[in-house]
Structure 1
């Protein structure tokens, strides 16, 4: 837990010291206020930087604001001095900008854990339906939210993916942004969408039960979910560079890489 006003004041001070402020936090103020209410959230500040450590199970995710990259070592040392746990730091932006920050963090002891690329389209090319397997695509049924949560947790690495909590999945369900693939009455796949601004739809995560993979279900589920937003004008998805299967899905749906990357760093 931290005082939001103290964070806001510190960021303002940093901007006055140097108009060039490096950050990996792009939340709106309401999200930062929400994070301030979490008892495990820590606020860390030095002369040229501020940071938040957000507890996520076996590690903490770090969001930072720093106006002098020469002080990255001081930032990491101060963070590490408060806890012996593992820390995850994401760097987001154009490849050239991210690489500048990545080099400073890695020379200070962080290691590269994963690299993701953002994919984007102005419209979705719907895949052809398949007659090979009897699969139904729809909004998820409320009774299956817990199973969807388990499916996501078992499929994705939480250090790379910002996995929604079960409570957040209920919110997505209420917003009609949580979709499922059903074989008869069994949930075999789930897809989470998120609203970005007024016209954007971001594909949060798509997970398919292992025994149903390789049949195009993920592609059709993702296409179906995006297809339920006919007024959307921007469709985005982040995919790890080694995840060839998901890249092929995005290509089939008409998405292209837009040049933004995320480097996930681990610091222990």
Structure 2
């Protein structure tokens, strides 16, 4: 990997660090000199340890710390961040990435309990982590930078994903509001909205679930659905997690020091 930004002396909190995009961003930041704090659910401990190993493989001197919490619990987030060793210090960079795709069903059939979970993780959870991050930065007296993970589904909608699309639209709105509130504190807040990113767990699940869901937009065969999705992309391919990580790293870096309140599409031209 080519390192294009210097994050030496910075501490980066990455939530959803056991997932494909979280892992790619953590490795990118660790390789560029950041101390990384990797966060995910306790049930994702093995995946987080894999991310930690890859960070150390990327840079043998990388400082990596892991924490476990459920983003839907504000008290759990606060308690976990309070456990970060003092020699690591409070994070001044945040990739607010934990999320839940939810079920793939049309709006008239979508189960309310799953919709509530999607909104709890993707909206309330993002707000909980952002608030804990801001409190620690204010106490430390430093500025910082945040990137929230939104989605193209929150920009243009997505068939069979009503709760997810609504939650990611909310993340974009939260990003813009937080950017206004936090600008006086020297904290920049931006979002990224990926479209079709693969290979990986989310891509495979999305293809399979869209094939299984009733829809006029997709076939019922996963291989055909995959080609239908790629056919929507002007660049005629899926994006890679490394391409998303590159955009996130730029937004967190000093090169984007005059960028805040933006939602960057990482979509191959969709939108």
TM-score bucket of the superposed structures, by smaller chain: under 0.3
Larger radius of gyration: 1
Q: What is the TM-score with the length of structure 2 in the denominator?
A: 0.26
Question: Relative contact order, CA 8 A, sep 6+: which one is greater?
Answer: 1
In the superposition, the TM-score normalised over structure 1's length comes to: 0.26
